[in-house]
Structure 1
Amino acid sequence: MGDIQFLKELQEELRTQENDGQAAPRFWTVGDYEWVEAREENAERYSVYLPNVAESYVLDDYLEEIKKDSGLSKECLTELKKIGGDYDETIEWIRKYIDEEAELIPERKVHIIQPNTMFLTKKEAKSHIKSNKHHYTSKAHTYAMTAWRAPKVERLLKILETFDWDSIKIK
């Protein structure tokens, strides 16, 4: 495909694509979610940090793994089962049997804009997510943004959307 044909097709896509409620000039990025440390009252989950192995694990997943695969005695595991959902008692149990310096980390899920993503069309952003899904969570999505107070971007996109590409004479 030649450059002029590419620009004609891009122009049509820019003119007809959804705007996702964003004013022009608009572009698309990849939106996603990640877990970040939070204040305890805002926690949606807890992770446990184990300094002895320098690793963090989602607490519920970690406890399930211990119950299935640990070399701990039945007495230890029975004690763990009795704790239930009490976080103070859970961390004390982990400190007693796993790592004496273990810490609970309260976390919450936040929306993020993935860095280094910028697309002129929503279709291209969707294609990128599909072909790069191994880099994102299953909740990755297109996210429209406005290039606010960016006159050169605005002018460029206006040209791409309105220029009469048939008026160009090719040598």
Structure 2
Amino acid sequence: MSSREKCEYKFRIQPTVNDDGKTVISINDMVPGPSINVCMNDIIVVEVENRIPDQDIALHWHGVEQKGTPFMDGVPMVTQCPIGFGSKYKYAFRASKPGTFFYHADSVQHQSDGIFGALIVNQPAPFEPHVDLYHYDRSEEHTLIIAADFPETLTGNLEDLSEIKPVALNINGDTDIAK
């Protein structure tokens, strides 16, 4: 297998006003958050800074096996303490199997408001069955991140959230193409 490289990311999670004036929760001012694109066996290190006032957060790496690092799974009060406002937490784990995965906030409200993104683990060319079909890595061009777009921010909302319905689909951060 390939040698391990350390792939480091810094995520600043905070409320942001997007182009249409709606408040969202963004990662580095992006919804969805930045893609994590690594190779199999790389060590992924993500430093998360929580800038959401009065809110705790945690990130879950959906589909990523946490063999040897169960405390990096992102389940608050089970595998880790939540990341409080103004605090930082550093996730570190190995990309142990190839595939297209995603990361998201453990809280459904935070996830619905924008804390999610793609996580792509590429395998070495000798093990890639489709290596002859393309000349370069096009995973960034062909990755779709689809989410519901709600009319208001759900984070910190004390109303009955079951009554708030999505108004559009968010496809790679664009809601206009799916209305």
Output the TM-score relative to the length of structure 1.
Answer: 0.19
Please tell me whether Structure 1 or Structure 2 has the larger radius of gyration of its CA atoms. 1
Higher relative contact order (CA 8 A, sep 6+): 1
Output the TM-score relative to the length of structure 2.
Answer: 0.18
